[in-house]
A = this chain, B = another copy of it.
Amino acid sequence: MEAALKAIVAPHRRQILSLVRDDELSAGAIAAHFDVTRPAVSQHLTVLKEAGLVEERRNGTRRLYRARPEGLLPIREFLEEFWDERLGALKREAEAEERKKDGRDS
């Protein structure tokens, strides 16, 4: 998850992800959407690929990229677990409060 988190923390990489979410695009086509140089985009693509957030397919001299949403699953699971456990904690707190009320002066 660490790699995926570090990957999506960079705004440019999130934008790239959005670009290749629906369509499979070449590295050049992706770079055309940004002000930064093409090598910079290439480096971002490498990071995304190594984080499992993007898959690469070679076609002649081109490299086509497409989003791999499964790569975001670990982050989702982390967030959801955190969420659920916190709700559980709130429930326990409420029950403790309830017990305190019931048992007071006893």
Contacts and interface: CB of A to CB of B under 8 A. Distances in A.
A72 B75 CA distance: 11
A85 B9 contact: no
5 contacts: A9-B9, A17-B82, A67-B82, A67-B86, A69-B86
Contacts of A82: 17-18, 21, 67, 69, 72
A88 to B, nearest CB: 8
A40 B55 CA distance: 38
Copies of this chain, complex-wide, total 2
Interface residues of A, number: 25
A44 to B, nearest CB: 16
Nearest to A17: B82
Nearest to A86: B69
Contacts of A17: 82
A21 B69 contact: no
Interface string A61-89: 00000010100100110011011011101
Given A5-B9, A11-B2, A79-B79, A22 B85 contact: yes
